[in-house]
Amino acid sequence: MAALLPPGIIGIIGGGQLGRMMIYRAKKLGYRFSVLDEKGAPAENLADFSVHGSLKDPAALKNLANVSDLLTYEIEHINTDALDELVSNGVKIFPSPSMLRIIQDKLLQKELFIKKGIPTADYFSADDPENFDFSQKKFSLVQKLRKGGYDGRGVKVLNATNDKPMNAPSIFEDMIDIEKELAVMVARSTDGSIAVFPVTEMAFNPDHNICDTVIAPARIDEKTAEAAKEISVNVVKALDGVGIFGVELFLDKKGNVLINEVAPRPHNSGHYTMEACVTCQFEQHIRAITGLPLGDTTLIRPAVMLNLLGEDGSYGEVELQGYEEALKVPGMSLHLYGKTESRPVRKMGHFTVTADTLEEAIKKSEYVRSILKIHGKEKLNDK
């Protein structure tokens, strides 16, 4: 297709922090943006046009399409039937609704990986887990809801037959003996061109199963890095994807790299690119979906990204702790998402620290973590 050039209007389905950062970093290219979400969403005050409504409402999606030259999205939980209808009427949507339908269902993802020969954990599926006979299954297992899981929700570890599963259609994976969790951002353009970012290392908050820290580059050998990149590119090709994709991977203790799952949008593991790479993931996504040449993915400096979550024990109007002291740290870049209400574990922002060495970046990031906190003004009752 012919490239969409500025001042074209890109419609974003979803107005959260990913949409906000997409607009923030891609405005410099000259595009205008429209956003669909509830009133007051983080991306709204940066958008040129806003449509208020549900991401599942066909009428709201149509209204967004009417004020946009093409559509994309920053979250997977969208009405794909409504998107199909828009495509049938000539609306350009990237990544495609047919691909999104696969992403929305973890069983369909798994089946695609197996069909394409992409290494992944062994699994089985169950539509009615509460009445499923687990007696012949080997534990431990990781249960993942087929649909609706997000940011650690919809995942449960089962260590024995008497552990109660979530009772919704699910897949159950064999527990991997994990050495590291890795991620690769892969961009694929409308003409099939591909650009790959460095392999990153992810650490997860053990209490909430949410990504806590991203280290770039990952502390792995070159052979492992190349395997991770090859698998990630194969995943995006298998999906026939257009846009930016966050590919999550496992490195097991035997040195094998396995696909975990994939997000068809900018991803938490790619936030570091805003400060550490020549082209960031958000600009790259816009380049890919509009048909522009993909940008340089070179890592300029080692980087560590940490999520800023709402602190436990409070909620409500935001109170910042350690804000000014954190801004004094050389190489630290702060991103607050414009959310006016804090609650425990809510993603309120992130910061990235770059340095000449990865060790220095890690040390500085741990210092910032220790002083920079986001609380709500109201205290939760003790339980």
pLDDT tens sequence for the chain (383 residues): 799 999 999 999 999 999 999 999 999 999 999 999 999 999 999 999 999 999 999 999 999 999 999 999 999 999 999 999 999 999 999 999 999 999 999 999 999 999 999 999 999 999 999 999 999 999 999 999 999 887 778 999 999 988 999 999 999 999 999 999 999 999 999 999 999 999 999 998 877 778 899 999 999 999 999 999 999 999 999 999 999 999 999 999 999 999 999 999 999 999 999 999 999 999 999 999 999 999 999 999 999 999 999 999 999 999 999 999 999 999 999 999 999 999 999 999 999 999 999 999 999 999 999 999 999 999 987 44
CB atoms within 10 A of CB 87: 16
Q: Any idea of the CA torsion for 115, 121, 125, 130, to the nearest 10 degrees?
A: -170
* Longest alpha-carbon distance in the chain: 60
- Give the pLDDT confidence score for residue 13 in this predicted structure: 98
- Give the pLDDT confidence score for residue 161 in this predicted structure: 87
CA distance 373 to 308: 7
Per DSSP bridges, beta strands 9-13 and 70-73 are parallel
Q: Any idea of the CA torsion for 83, 85, 86, 88, to the nearest 10 degrees?
A: 130
CA-CA distances (angstroms) from residue 282 to 22, 227, 285?
5, 25, 5
CA distance 98 to 84: 8
The β-bridge partners of 363 are none
- Residues whose CB is less than 8 angstroms from the CB of residue 88 and which lie 6 or more positions away in sequence, other chains included: none
Q: State the Rg of the chain over Cα.
A: 21
pTM recorded for the entire structure: 0.96
- Give the pLDDT confidence score for residue 94 in this predicted structure: 98
Per DSSP bridges, beta strands 257-263 and 347-354 are unpaired
**Is it true that the peptide bond before 217 is cis, omega within 30 degrees of 0?**
yes
Q: Is 210 exposed, middle or buried, given 0-12, 13-18 or 19+ CB atoms closer than 10 A? A: middle
Contact (CB, 8 A) for 94 and 235:
no
Q: What are phi and psi of 78, to 5 degrees?
A: -130, 155
- Give the pLDDT confidence score for residue 382 in this predicted structure: 47
Q: Look at the block and give the residue holding tokens 């109170």.
A: 319
Contact (CB, 8 A) for 167 and 129:
yes
For the chain, how many residues are written? 383
- Report CA torsion sign: 260, 261, 262, 268: negative
Amino acid at 232: S
If we measure between CA atoms, which residue out of 112, 176, 108 comes closest to residue 147?
A: 108
The β-bridge partners of 205 are 210
CA distance 381 to 207: 20
Phi-psi region of 99 (alpha: psi -120 to 50; beta: other; left: phi over 0): alpha
Q: What are phi and psi of 122, to 5 degrees?
A: -65, 150
Q: What are phi and psi of 141, to 5 degrees?
A: -125, 150
Residues 350-372 pLDDT 10s = 999 999 999 999 999 999 999 99
- Give the pLDDT confidence score for residue 1 in this predicted structure: 77
If we measure between CA atoms, which residue out of 348, 349, 353 comes closest to residue 365?
A: 353
- Residues whose CB is less than 8 angstroms from the CB of residue 209 and which lie 6 or more positions away in sequence, other chains included: 152, 155
